[in-house]
Amino acid sequence: MKVSFHGHSIVKVKTEDKTILFDPFITMNELTDLKVEEEKPDVIIVTHGHGDHLGDTIELAKKNQSLVICNAELSYYLGFHGIEAHGMSIGGAYDFDFGKVKLTPALHGTGLVTEDNQIVYLGMPAGVLLTIDGKTIYHAGDTGLFSDMKLIGERHPIDLAFIPIGDNFTMGPEDAAYAVELLQPKQVVPVHYNTFPPIKQDPHAFAKLVKGSDVKVMEAGEVVEL
């Protein structure tokens, strides 16, 4: 199984027969190496409804008949756009044909700003535990630090974690390093940084703060094999 990072919070998981794409914010993302017209995900997992995570989900799902997995309210919104979406809630898990998905808490806001300056509420933000091919991948979304990360790590041994470090909208490097200490993943990749001026960070400085886990600072397109 190959797991790749593609800038901001985009993660791609490729198995022998499935391609799973997390938070496909491609258009307007200067840090990504992906192009919408070239991506063919079987499954899209969206942590929450902010534009820099929902991103190009609707276009990609329509073009590729992708299944979208997300929180319940966001699934209804996508359904209004003709998308096949599987809605879930925090703490819930579901066994799909490719693996198991469980939503975990994430502490931050959510919603989409429309062209006519309205805010559409799109349900509870989430982190995601993906158990696939005998491995567990944790995508934390945009969360701040919370103590139940220790519980998540104890109940779900994590092989690879994607943790935001950008600060301002998410955890900063210090809190993110403490989150890693609570989660105890085998490997951790920093995400959600350097895309916009308020979230400029040095990922290598973050790596120096982490104890007990192997930190991999990934460039867009770089791959980890699990």
List pLDDT tens digits, range 131-168. 999 999 999 999 999 999 999 999 999 999 999 999 99
CATH of the domain at 57: 3.60.15.10
CA 195 to chain centre: 15
Nearest to 50 by CA among 79, 30, 70: 70
The reported pLDDT for the residue numbered 114 is 86
Is the overall model pTM greater than 0.95, yes or no?
Answer: yes
Domain count within the chain: 1
Dig out the tokens for 203 from the structure: 């990922």
Summary mean pLDDT of the chain: 97
130-146: burial string, b at 16+ Cβ within 10 Å, e else: bbbeebbbbbbbbbbbb
Q: Does residue 115 surpass a pLDDT of 90?
A: no
The boundaries of the domain holding residue 191 are: 2-225
- How far does the chain reach from its first CA to its final CA, in angstroms? 5
37-63: pLDDT as tens digits: 999 999 999 999 999 999 999 999 999
Helix (H, G, I), strand (E, B) or coil at 75: helix
